[in-house]
Amino acid sequence: MTKELWGIIKKIRTRKPLIQAITNYVTINDCANILLGIGASPAMCEAKDEVEDFIELADSLYINIGTLTREQKEAICLAVKKASRLKKPVVIDPVGVGALYTRKTFILKLLEEYEISIIKGNSGEIKSLAGMDANVKGVDSMDDGPDAVDACKALAKKFNTVAAATGKTDIISDGNRTIRIKNGSPMLTMVTGVGCMVGAIAAAAAAVENDFLKAAASAVLSMGIAGDIAAEEIEENPAPGTYRVKLFDNIYSLTEDKFVKRSKIEWE
């Protein structure tokens, strides 16, 4: 099964899908670079009068609400509506929904009204969307644990989507099948935007793989393995700046051998 997930990364590298992103201004450049590193083509196109035309060209749409403005809200609604109509995959990163009620209602409305392929947040965000108590600090999660599984399952079933909750153990579920991934280093939490980058990679994977559970898993696993190798490479001299650069390098230089041998994945 892990080989099949690697096949998704290989398809990204061969097909180089065009990913349209409406994302936050903190990590927009990192999302563009990680998409290039994994083998996709990023286009950060978010102007209200452009998003509908652009989605016709794009292979998938990545929505991230980390620095949500009124203009972005309008553009997101137009883009998601058109993507749904054209049956193009949509991946949402609901940054900050655990902290801001307005963001939560915005995302729940999108989930109710449109076909969303993957919703990927940290476990605090996913638990909050599932209506559970969540321990969050702004855009960060202070939450983890077994109830993330229930949150993913409930959210996936309710909105007919795939839900992914990241954390020490990553959970991905489509409501029936559930995956746990235990790769990744605590150093990943010392770099802002790692979650955003996982979401961007998930959008690239969803562009080439229509089993969105597997698409999401291939993205989460890629970052986990790159994070593991990067941590080993800075073991002598741990430093988040160097670690961040090594993440990009290791996403770019993933191989089937590294992917298969290092994966710590469990299927339920």
Ligand X SMILES: Nc1ncnc2c1ncn2[C@@H]1O[C@H](COP(=O)(O)OP(=O)(O)O)[C@@H](O)[C@H]1O
Ligand Y SMILES: Cc1ncsc1CCOP(=O)(O)O
State the residues that interact with ligand X by CB under 6 A.
Answer: 122, 140-141, 166-168, 170, 184-186, 188-189, 194-195, 198, 223-224
Place of tokens 């097909």: 15
CB of 195 to ligand X, least distance (A): 2
β-bridge mates for residue 228, sequence order: none
Q: Which helix (H) or strand (E) holds 164?
A: strand 162-166
3-class secondary structure, 40: coil
193 annotated as a binding-site residue: yes
**Closest residue to ligand X, based on beta-carbon distance:** 195
142 annotated as a binding-site residue: no
CB of 31 to ligand X, least distance (A): 12
CB of 260 to ligand X, least distance (A): 18
The separation between the first and the last C-alpha atoms of the chain, rounded to the nearest angstrom, is: 12
Tokens encoding 225: 């393995």
Tokens encoding 116: 């969303």
Closer residue to ligand X (CB): 140 or 209: 140
Between the alpha carbon of residue 197 and those of residues 78, 86, 251, the distances in Å are 23, 25, 11
Closer residue to Mg ion (CB): 38 or 208: 38
44 annotated as a binding-site residue: yes
192 binds ligand Y (CB under 6 A): yes
User: Which of 45, 129, 194, 201 is in the footprint of ligand Y by CB under 6 A?
Assistant: 194
Query: Please, which of residues 136-155 interact with ligand Y by CB under 6 A?
Result: 139
167 binds Mg ion (CB under 5 A): no
Residue 66 contact among ligand Y, Mg ion, ligand X, none, beta carbon within 5 to 8 Å by kind: ligand Y
* Range in contact with Mg ion (rule: CB under 5 A) among 93-101, 168-176, 210-218, 228-236: 93-101
Alpha carbon distance 82, 84 (integer Å): 5
β-bridge mates for residue 180, sequence order: 171, 266
187 binds ligand Y (CB under 6 A): no
DSSP state of 234: T
User: Which of 37, 94, 184, 195 is in the footprint of Mg ion by CB under 5 A?
Assistant: 195
Q: Which residues contact 182 (CB under 8 A, 6 or more apart)?
A: 168, 169, 170, 224, 264, 265, 266
Environment class of 196 (CB within 10 Å of its CB; exposed 0-12, middle 13-18, buried 19+): buried
Interface with ligand Y (CB under 6 A)? 24, 26-27, 66-67, 95, 139, 192-196
Annotated binding site for substrate: 44, 193
Interface with Mg ion (CB under 5 A)? 95, 195
